[in-house]
Amino acid sequence: MKKITIFDTTLRDGEQSPGASLNINEKIEIGRQLAVLGVDVIEAGFPIASRGDFDAVKAVAKGVKGPVICGLARALNKDIDAAYNSVKYARRPRIHVFLATSKIHMKYKLKKAEDEILRLAVAAVKYARRKCKDVEFSPEDASRTDKDFLYRVVEAVIAAGASTVNIPDTVGYAMPSEYGLLIKGIKENVPNIDRAVISVHCHNDLGLGVANSLSAVLNGARQVECTINGLGERAGNASLEEIVMAIRTRTDTFNGFSTGVKTRELYKTSKLVSKLTGMPVQRNKAIVGANAFAHESGIHQDGVLKERVTYEIMRPEDVGFGSTKMVLGKHSGRHAFRDHLKRIGFGLSDEQVDKAFRRFKDLADKKKEIFDEDLETIVEEEITKVPEKYHLQHFYISSGDEVSPAAHIKLRYKNKVMDATSSGDGPIDACYKAIDKITGTSGRLLDYEVRSVTSGKDALGEVSIKIGSGSGVVSGRGSSTDIIEASIKAYINVVNKLAYKKK
């Protein structure tokens, strides 16, 4: 197998995303999850950037076991010293030195000629090599660097002691075909290239970060630098999860290639990075987006239900998702609708399915997504007509700023009236506890919403609630000009649904 080294730079380049700053504890937490994920190298930060970044890299080097821990440095002795002093606590430390080599950067940023750049690069690698045996060098903006000069630089830094040479597409300018040829050209024109690993670091300015990285792998690169969720400067970096799953999924193209990543940890890692950086993952993000394994189209749903591979090239559980998600919406078909009803416990006849499906389509034109509670309501209202086992007979409330709220509830049940009194945190809580005493229900209020159905002082109010119970989440509705009465009716609606389900 041709092993591809996964170099994760979420804690360095990923953190450079505007608004994605991480504190020391957050960096350690992500670093430990990256180790669980199975990445080979963690670039923990840019130690010279600030005292906080130095301390964070040092903490990761001390606290994260397994991967190589790397610190970034410019081709300056003070940067290299800072990088080494922060990563030296790791079992396997690495110093990553970079220096721009393109004519654009040399002219406008560094104001130096090629010979001076070459001298600085060699000197920096030699200095780093005296401190650390694992040194990586990056000719920044390599994809826009003159090829002959790039070959000279790569050959010189390898001779100086670099064991990894990274060829960055720093501004995401390259096309996959030309970037692949760049890597191939390095292999063919650098005499000592067999003494170093070729790495690639591709940015996503044109949306080609992953494509360029994979093209490089096919042309000889054996390390890929990437980030969780594709975080990074500007439009971000090549996405780790996309690269890993492309290599795993397209075995026809990447025959013999492998990574050490435990793919079932991908979704968990993505969620953690998103939460700690505050950078949400777009719903249609490949591999880890909420819609990555979701189907709404009736044609797609029918195909997946008959044979998963018709519309899924990966299994959701292989990346840590629970299962394929059939999203019920206006594009859904009868097959998915019937299948979903079965999964939530409704076995209906063809006639009943037809009747419920028409109501479902009407509702789907008004809502983007239909939830289980909506389907239960459709079935109960249109098909089963849930019987009213309990009916509100009377209620009395006492409440005030100096009075402990209490409720006295009377319910009619099988031609007899049952009552109970209870106190609570408020009048509605007191009512619900009294109802629980009468019915033996024990539900948790998960959601409470009230809205005005009509206008004016005597407006009709509708209360919608969601209650968690041993039967799952059950929704209830009630309406009245009195909000407390509407709240009581909504809870009784839930109680009746639970009684019907139990029956």
Task: Provide the percentage of residues in the chain whose pLDDT is more than 70.
Answer: 92
Q: How far is CA 13 from CA 22, 42, 221, 237, 275, in A?
A: 12, 11, 20, 8, 17
Domain 2-277 and domain 390-502, same fold? Reply is no
Tokens coding 426: 């408020």
Greater pLDDT, 43 or 499 = 43
Does residue 353 surpass a pLDDT of 90?
no
Q: Summarize pLDDT for 436-491 with one digit per residue, the tens.
A: 999 998 888 999 999 875 555 556 677 889 998 877 888 888 877 788 998 998 99
Task: Provide the percentage of residues in the chain whose pLDDT is more than 90.
Answer: 66
Does residue 369 surpass a pLDDT of 80?
no
CB 73 within 8 A of CB 95: yes
Does residue 81 surpass a pLDDT of 60?
yes
Half-sphere CA count of 68, side-chain side, radius 13 A? 21
Q: What is the pLDDT of residue 178?
A: 98
Architecture of domain 2-277: Alpha-Beta Barrel (3.20)
Q: What is the pLDDT of residue 94?
A: 98
d(CA 193, CA 333): 57
Q: What is the pLDDT of residue 198?
A: 98
C-alpha of 137 from chain center: 31
Q: What is the pLDDT of residue 325?
A: 66
Q: Summarize pLDDT for 111-144 with one digit per residue, the tens.
A: 889 999 999 999 999 999 999 999 999 999 999 9
CB 155 within 8 A of CB 190: yes
d(CA 24, CA 487): 47
Q: What is the pLDDT of residue 361?
A: 81
Instruction: Out of 196-200, 250-254, 325-329, 467-471, pick the least confident.
Output: 325-329
Q: Domain 390-502 carries which CATH code?
A: 3.30.160.270
Task: Identify which of 137, 219, 231, 136 has the alpha carbon closest to the alpha carbon of residue 177.
Answer: 219
Q: What is the pLDDT of residue 403?
A: 87
What mean pLDDT, rounded, does the chain reach?
A: 90
d(CA 54, CA 97): 16
Does residue 420 surpass a pLDDT of 80?
yes
- Summarize the confidence of residues 220-233 as an average pLDDT: 97
Q: Where are the domains of the chain?
A: 2-277, 296-384, 390-502
Q: What is the pLDDT of residue 335?
A: 82
Q: Summarize pLDDT for 273-321 with one digit per residue, the tens.
A: 999 999 999 989 999 988 887 766 767 766 766 877 787 888 889 999 8
Q: What angle do CA 172, 174, 180 make, to 5 degrees?
A: 125
Q: What is the pLDDT of residue 321?
A: 86
pLDDT band at 103 (very low <50, low <70, confident <90, very high): very high
Burial of 37 (0-12, 13-18, 19+ CB in 10 A): buried
DSSP notation for 339-355: HHHHHTT----HHHHHH
Query: What is the torsional sign of CA 260, 265, 271, 272?
Result: negative
Q: What is the pLDDT of residue 482?
A: 87
pTM: 0.71
d(CA 314, CA 332): 22
pLDDT band at 385 (very low <50, low <70, confident <90, very high): low
d(CA 413, CA 263): 55
Helix (H, G, I), strand (E, B) or coil at 44: strand
